[in-house]
Structure 1
Amino acid sequence: MSDQMSVHHATYELLRGLGLTTVFGNPGSTEQTFLRDFPKDFTYVLALQEASVVAMADAFSQVIGRPALVNVHTAAGLGNAMGSLVAAYDARSPLIITAGQQHRHMMITEPYLTNRDETLLPRPWVKWAYQPVRAQDVPAAFMRAYAVALQPPAGPVFLSIPMDDWAEPALGPAVIREVSKRVAPDAARLSSFAERIDNSSRPALVFGPEVDRAGGWLAAVALAEKLKAPVYNAPLSDRVSFPEDHPLFQGALPLTIDGVSKRLAGHDLVVVIGAQVFRYYPFIPGRYLPEGTELLHVTCDPDAAAYAAAGDSALGDAKLAIELLIEKVAARPADVAPAPLAWPRQVPATSNSPLTPNEAYAALSDVRPSDAVLVNESTSTMVQQAEWLPTVRSGSFFASASGGIGWGVPAAVGVALGDRERGVRRPVIATIGDGSFQYSVQAVWTAAQHDLPIVFVVFRNGEYSILKSFARLEDAPGVPGLDLPGLDIASVAKGFGLRAVHADTTDEIREQFTLALDADGPTVIVIETQPQDAGLG
């Protein structure tokens, strides 16, 4: 045992060796012993609330394709972070979330800021939660956390670390191990899937977020083109895994049981790769599949395979599975390809006041750079977003995986920081509803502090439109709290140090967006729009 090396030193050497040199956090008193003498080769990203901390790290991890390190404040900070932790878990983001714990010598008396039952609070939204039994186990716990977070299906893990552990002597340098992040599918089972595809008369492909996460975008295109099969986005996908301007693309599947079944009518086989079968909400009953339709399911997640409502499953990495299928399936003739999807892109010659979401997105489409990345959390305008701002490149669309709101604003910060980490500069467009913007508005401060190339486009319709749509669908009149009068979004953004403007016409949208692209740092553009039904049924 070394008399010189502390747990603090051994852990930072381990983190350095694993490439975990960016820490997302909001420092609390029980975390300061971890953060003391913060190394100059590490970066600390400060966010002003823990939900934003985790959402930034989530998106950052998705962009760089590696685990990210998060530090929150004991139970209180972890409680703040829980909403974003749900999103990170559903997005399969490999986060290592740490929280300080009270001094070991006092924990028996449950002093102020004790994290009671410390491993229970983050469950079930982490793969593993642990508090080391002794201080000397802290570095090894980080190594195990790294391995668990990265192995498929990836996801967040949690470590609770007593504040006095860092000064204790270490056992020596931590052992760094490499772990695999891909699991190959059973080749024989994929061969049987390929045979069933070849024997089908009208197969359909459904690609989900696992494909893009696995780097399988080009492979997905190659498989679709070999089969000449129509391609659908999985419902409520947080990533897009196929170019939405491709002739084989047929749009996203609906959100309901009945809607999915009707949309897939006419296909005798549906092949779902990298998605749940399916994400349903709200409840509109119907057949899970059209009569006579079979389903094949490929996922890296054993749970998703187990709770699928229909179909035969195979476990494995999405990209590897697609590449194997390309080798095994027979090419189909060009005349079986579906007709290209026709978007109903109709904009009035004269603009409305306020603008419709259709008009606002159409104006944005005129000035969006081809390399821009989109972060979307305008839930009532998802259809217009897909129509006017289609995703045409891998890794260029991100949305919350959980359904909770407040993720989009800090996620845009995480995406931009992830690009900076990997030496890429591209504009980040965050399309955010005015209600969603309020959940994590403090995250724009971090964007300003880091001079990030983000354009926050806030659609100001003065209400929770998505909730009013649900109320109509669920026959629930008289629900309170769905209107949002009196929000001065531009003034709030300016108070956090951002350039903020209003754009009330399509010409002003084009002008202000172009100026925002040339600005040093982030801009908030507030667009007053008409409320609309989200089309959930």
Structure 2
Amino acid sequence: MPLVREATYQLLRQLGLTTIVGNPGSTEETFLKDFPDDFDYVLALQEANVVGIADGLAQGLRKPVIVNVHTGPGLGNAMGCILTAYENKTPLIITAGQQTRKMLLLEPFLTNIDATVMPRPWVKWSYEPSRPEDIPAAFMRAYARAIQQPMGPVFLSLPLDDWEKRIDEAPALRATSSRMGPDPLYAELFADKINASKRPVLVYGSDIARSQAWDAGIRFAETLQAPVWAAPFAERTPFPETHPLYAGALPAAIGPLSARLEGHDLIVVVGAPIFRYYPYIPGQYLPDGARLLQVTDDPDAAAKAPVGDSIVADSLLFLETIRPLIDRNTRMAPEIRKPVSTKPDLDHLPLSADAVLSTIRPLCPADFVLLSESPSTIAALQRWFPIDKPDSYYTFASGGLGWGMPAAVGLALAERKSGRNRPVIGLIGDGSFQYSLQSIYTGVQQNAHVIFVVLRNGEYAILKEFAKLEKTPNVPGLDLPGLDIASLGRGYGARTFRATDAAEIREAFNAALAHTGTSVIEVPISPSLNPLLTGWSGRTTAGHARSHQAGSAS
């Protein structure tokens, strides 16, 4: 009879889950004992980094990753990134050690008290096996729950003395589908409403990227001849931002969002909640005369939508089902006026964010992965880095800082494991950099090709922008003097640069591309503030329309 540990590792082999990201502790060492040669262990120096790296790796590989953190304290350290993984819909199997069963009643040192309660509500399932023999089957159930839509993290609490027990029957390897198709009746009802619409508009969300519906989304938009907006706070790019039908990103406030959609009689939201609002700016949820249809893989998102009718389904399966039901008519697409970016001043120092990004963009290779955790420079990023390829842009759905740097390392590991080998460019704010900078160590040790471009404006600029919106002057703690980003990166072994002008940026970035390891480029930028809700967005102009042949651009 095999040991529980042996049976568990064999099941993980069968599931193809042979990478474990972790930070080991005393309660985890019995699981990691005699670690198998055919498994990879990715060490991170703090549990938030563990989860962030696993999140990026799982998104890049499109499959679950095993996470191993240290009982209650380690799980506590990890919670911020677990919350983000849940909002990102990333399938992770998070494990934490537990004290010896014989002492649990005493709650000794490092007991994870109420272990299954601690990670909720940010996991889909949380369980501590009643018997040692149940551990392998619990992993099987955890895997099935993690990959079912909406995908997300699950949690197992595992007592340290369970691994040496014998198991008389290994769990059955099982398969389960991971996509939900649309209700045929509702699909026909949606098609009827779409066909009856005179001026439809599309709002696409990140589920389109997760369900690999990029091309299907393009075909649907071109069939409708409808403009496409990105949903507020979309963590994955759902539609090519260079496409003629792309209108921009919607603002995350009730009144301004509704105003952007004026003139349309039908709003079709695919793969997004209704909606991710943040600052409260009142108004109507929908413009006058408009109706809303939503497609989401999350029943909770459908239940809590304040307006509209919903279908719970995978985005790709919905788009493939609905498109044959749509009339191919001669509807005219509204002209979308896209702003032309003017060349920024490269002589004035410190450079603006626009100047830095306009300098970097021409240096990037044809294929790369872009990750952003620099909230105050999103508008500049959208101006100079329009995303026109699927699975090439990632950010965080939760709003919690500290995910970006480890996720960039995880994405780079996924690039290597998949053989794509695209470099990962992480655009990080100097405030964000402080949350999970230990991830640089993992990037260096794993020889992950990550380039962290750290924009140092010496402040929490996004909070100063909020302070203007909320009329809250003199808020303390919004300035960040005295940070030496390059020295911090150097301390973890990264190749580091401090670049102050365009020539130095070009030299540093080209060197980082050639290095194929982990690099940190610190760039001082001017501390200018932008209006919070007036980032990049297109404009549709009523009365100015043009034909757009279906299938002409992608």
Tell me the TM-score range normalised by the shorter chain: over 0.9
Which whole-Å CA distance do the structure 1 matches of 2:170 and 2:303 have between them?
41
Say yes or no: does 1:155 pair with 2:186: no
Q: Which residue identity is paired with 2:207?
A: E
CA distances 1:217-260 after superposition (whole Å, capped 9, x unpaired) = 00001111111110010000000010011110010001110110
Q: Does 2:358 correspond to 1:362?
A: yes
2:440 to 444, 469, 472: 444
State, as a whole percentage, how many aligned pairs show the same letter.
52
Question: In the alignment, which residue of structure 2 is the partner of 1:407?
Answer: 403
Other structure's SS at 2:247 match: strand
Is the Cα–Cα contact under 8 Å of residues 351 and 359 in structure 1 kept in the other structure? no
Q: Give, in whole Å, the separation in 1 of the partners of 2:27 and 2:344.
A: 58
* 1:71 to partner: Cα distance: 0.3
Tell me which residue corresponds to 2:137: 140
Q: How does 1:331-410 map to 2 (within 5 A)?
A: 331-333=328-330, 336-348=332-344, 350-410=346-406
1:494 is aligned to 2:490: yes
Q: Equivalent residue for 1:232?
A: 229
> What residue number does 2:248 align with?
251
Give 1:111's match in structure 2, choosing from 108, 115, 133: 108
* CA-CA distance at 1:273 after TM superposition: 0.3
Matches of 2:344 and 2:376, distance apart in 1: 21
Amino acid at match of 1:457: V
1:340 Cα offset (Å): 3.9
**Aligned letter for 2:163?**
W
Compute the displacement of 1:511 (Å). 2.3
**SS of the residue 1:166 aligns to:** coil
1:422 is matched with which residue?
Answer: 418
Change (3 A) 1:396 1:498: same
- Counting only pairs closer than 5 Å after superposition, residues 430-469 of structure 1 correspond to structure 2 as 430-469=426-465
- Structure 1's unaligned 5+ residue stretches are none
Which stretch of structure 1 is more off in the superposition, 502-511 or 51-60? 502-511
* Matched position secondary structure for 2:109: coil
Between the aligned partners of 2:345 and 2:478, the Cα distance in structure 1 is 32
Q: Does 1:302 align with 2:299?
A: yes
Q: Secondary structure at the match of 1:106?
A: helix
Hey, what does 2:45 align to over in structure 1? 48
Tell me the distance in 2 between the aligned counterparts of 1:50 and 1:15: 22
**Does the Cα contact within 8 Å between 1:255 and 1:536 map onto a contact in 2?**
no
For the aligned residue pairs, the C-alpha RMSD in angstroms reads 1.1
Tell me how far apart the structure 2 counterparts of residues 483 and 509 of structure 1 sit (CA, whole Å): 25
Which whole-Å CA distance do the structure 1 matches of 2:111 and 2:311 have between them?
44
Q: Supply the distance in 1 between the matched residues of 2:456 and 2:379 (Cα, whole angstroms).
A: 17
Q: Does 1:12 align with 2:15?
A: no
Checking the alignment, whether the CA contact within 8 Å between 2:24 and 2:69 is kept in structure 1 is yes
**1:461-480 pair list within 5 angstroms:** 461-480=457-476
Structure 1 Cα separation of the partners of residues 132 and 293 of structure 2: 48
Which of these residues, 27, 33, 36, is aligned with residue 33 of structure 2? 36
Greater shift, 505-514 or 322-331, is seen at 505-514
Mark the runs of 5 or more structure 2 residues left unpaired by the alignment.
534-554
| Contact 2:346–2:501 (CA under 8 A) maintained in structure 1 | no
TM-score, with normalisation over the residues of structure 2? 0.95
Task: Show the counterpart of 2:537.
Answer: none
Contact 2:498 2:522 in 1 (8 A): yes
Q: Is the 8 A contact 1:380 1:532 kept in 2?
A: no
**1:265 aligned residue:** 262
Deviation at 1:534, TM superposition (A): 4.0
1:68 corresponds to which of 62, 65, 72? 65
Which piece of structure 1 moves more, 188-197 or 136-145? 188-197
**8 Å CA contact retained: 1:228, 1:332:** no
In 1: Cα distance, 2:462 partner to 2:366 partner: 29
Aligned residues: 533
270, 290, 293: which one aligns with 1:293? 290
Alignment partners' CA distance in 2, 1:520 and 1:309: 48
State the distance in 2 between where 1:352 and 1:361 align.
15
- 1:183 maps to which of 175, 180, 196: 180
The offset of 1:514, in angstroms, is 1.5
Give 2:540's aligned residue.
Answer: none
Between the aligned partners of 1:263 and 1:311, the Cα distance in structure 2 is 17
- Distance (Å, rounded) in 2 between the aligned partners of 1:445 and 1:54: 15
Q: Are the equivalent residues in 1 in contact too, given 2:344–2:354 (CA < 8 A)?
A: no
The match for 2:516 is 520
SS of the residue 1:40 aligns to? coil
Q: How much has 1:291 moved relative to structure 2? A: 0.9
- In the alignment, is the contact (CA less than 8 A) between 2:359 and 2:502 conserved in 1? yes
Paired letter, 2:494: L
Q: For 1:128 and 1:272, how far apart are their aligned partners in 2?
A: 28
Match of 1:370, SS state, is coil
Counterpart AA for 2:79: M
DSSP 3-state at the match of 2:217: helix
